Amino acid sequence: MKCHICGSSTRSFKDEKSGIVYYHCNGCEVIFKSPECYQSIEVQKARYDLHTNDEHDEGYRAYFQRFLDFVLPQTVDVKTALDFGCGRSTLLANILNSMNIRTDAYDPIYHPDTPYHSRKYDLVVSTEVFEHLHDPKTVFGALVELLSPGGYLAIQTQFHPQNIEAFKTWYYHKDPTHIVFFVPTTFRRLAEQYGCSYVADNGRNMVLLKKSEK
């Protein structure tokens, strides 16, 4: 099977416990589940509805603050932002708004009416979204299109262990809604394809990219 990120060949392996087949790209190093594991939006919603994130919980706020502490010091002139795939909560958007960064929140299930398509943003953030995407390359390209020239795209998703045996015992792929797993190399390839520069990653789960200013 060809990689749906970079088009390179992949090698397959099976998780003996679950019986799920995975594909590991020889080029960009993404790992994705066999397409038969992909779930409909209705099935995914049933699982997301179980999430009980409390916007007043200090731990939940600290979770987003760690993300912003990585992103914002490496950006300049950010006045507008979009939280793409925010889920039920708009806490991250609220925090950014409190920092005088005018922020929209969009989610296809919980906040589908946000008119983000008609706007351009200095920053697009997407936390714990990309591992759910059936077509991450297309979504990545669409988010880049939403950026103003020189704008930033910040993504949080757990980077997979670059070892197949370690991957099999990794907790992150056991969530049935998690179907695709990245490493910095994957995002470097995506950045090259869509005219972005690679600003930084934290080595674990966060990456920051910048759209060309031309």
pLDDT band at residue 94, thresholds of 50, 70 and 90? very high
What pLDDT does 108 receive?
93
Q: Would you state the pLDDT for residue 104?
A: 98
Residue 54: per-residue pLDDT: 67
DSSP string, 9-37: BEEEEE-TTT--EEEEESSS--EEE-GGG
Q: What is the pLDDT of residues 133-155, one digit of tens each?
A: 999 999 999 999 999 999 999 99
The pair of three-digit structure tokens given for residue 31, joined into one six-digit string: 């790992």
- Where along the chain do its domains lie? 10-211
Q: Kindly tell me the burial class for residue 117, based on how many C-beta atoms sit within 10 Å of its own C-beta (0-12, 13-18, 19 or more).
A: exposed
Domain 10-211 in this protein, CATH class: alpha beta
Dump pLDDT digits (tens) for 12-60: 999 999 999 999 999 999 999 999 998 877 777 766 666 666 676 788 8
Model confidence, pTM: 0.94
pLDDT in tens, 59-88: 889 999 999 999 999 999 999 999 999 998
Distance CA 166, CA 160 (A): 9
In the numeric block, the tokens 């920053």 are attached to 123
**Arithmetic mean of pLDDT, 188-206:** 98
- Residue 91 pLDDT more than 90? yes
In this prediction, residue 60 carries a pLDDT of 86
165-182 pLDDT, tens digit each = 999 999 999 999 999 999
pLDDT recorded at residue 39: 80
Sign of CA dihedral 61, 66, 67, 69: positive
Q: Write down the pLDDT at residue 49.
A: 67
The one-letter amino acid at 86? C
Q: Is the pLDDT of residue 129 over 70?
A: yes
Provide the 10 A C-beta neighbour count for residue 12: 10
Across 187-202, average pLDDT: 98
Per-residue model confidence (pLDDT) at position 204: 98
